[in-house]
Amino acid sequence: MAIDTVALEKTTTQAQAHIETLIKPRLIQPVESMIFNGEAHYVDWHFERTNFKQIEVMHITDIQYGHPMCQVNRLIEHMNWILKSPNRYFVLGGDCVDASHALAKGHGLGQKEPQVQVIEFAQIMAPYVHRCLGYVGGNHERRGIPMFGDLGHLIAYLMQVPYSNAKQYVNIYFGDHKPFKIGLFHGASGGQTKGAVANQVYRWMTQADCHYYLLGHLHQAMVIPDNREHHDLENKCMTNEKIIGAMSTSFLEHYGTYAEIAGYKNPGKSLMAHCIIEKNGHWEVRLR
């Protein structure tokens, strides 16, 4: 069935007006660069003038809103927890909506149209997006490409957040961190055992020069610490630098989904990577 683009545009415009009334002003504005097709692959955030003693960054990924087994209450629980403290922020790791349709691999029945899922998701997230530092799209956002376009573009437009459909590098200037560098990527297929999942995380950790590397997609929780040697050109020596890669699970139940049908491992309760960045240069990663 052909999409009524006129009706869709009208619905989206009305939704946008409503969503804009729910979005709160940001404390700090992002500085975006490496712009390709309207997407920001490089984003700077300057927190130097804040009085925060630390900044917390939560990874929120694989929500798959619109699927009947999406744990929306669990998502809202996480988001409300973030708002409880002014120094808590988050990044979106992709697969924000399920976006099932007849041509999609593993599609489900009885879902609302993908663009409706997008609008409803943006309405749910609108009160929180002033704390969003970045957003990368996943394979579920890309489900819309054959008939509609990359749904991540529309989500980011409605929520007014920096978006990349591939990699995004988020830099936080804060205290002794000049900057703290986060590599954000949704992930790639090809890993169900813990060893295979670890390989996916570690492969991402070998790219760029980030401190903290984030992945989703495989719905398994994992944190891998490592170190990297680098040249200290000022003191003419080699120093060690801590790096950590983390994969978060999802907000999707296991039973009653394509994951059960495919025989994937049950990830259990949703676990999101949570980074605490201290002003003195120290930092740590937890799963929450």
| Prediction pTM value | 0.93
Per-residue pLDDT of the chain (288 residues; tens, 9 = 90+): 334 445 555 567 888 889 999 999 999 999 999 999 999 999 999 999 999 999 999 999 999 999 999 999 999 999 999 999 999 999 999 999 999 865 555 555 568 888 889 999 999 999 999 999 999 999 999 998 887 889 999 999 999 999 999 999 999 999 999 999 999 999 987 777 899 999 999 999 999 999 999 999 999 999 999 999 989 999 999 999 999 999 999 999 999 888 888 788 888 889 999 999 999 999 999 999
Contact indicator for 97, 121 with CB cutoff of 8 Å: yes
DSSP state of 144: G
CATH class of the 30-287 domain in this structure = alpha beta
Spatial neighbors of 64 by CB under 8 A, at least 6 apart, are 70, 95, 96, 97, 98, 140, 250, 251, 252
Q: Where are the domains of the chain?
A: 30-287
- The string over 123-156, giving b where at least 16 C-beta atoms fall within 10 Å of a residue's C-beta and e elsewhere, is ebbbbbbbbbbbbbbbbbbbbbeeebebbbbbbb
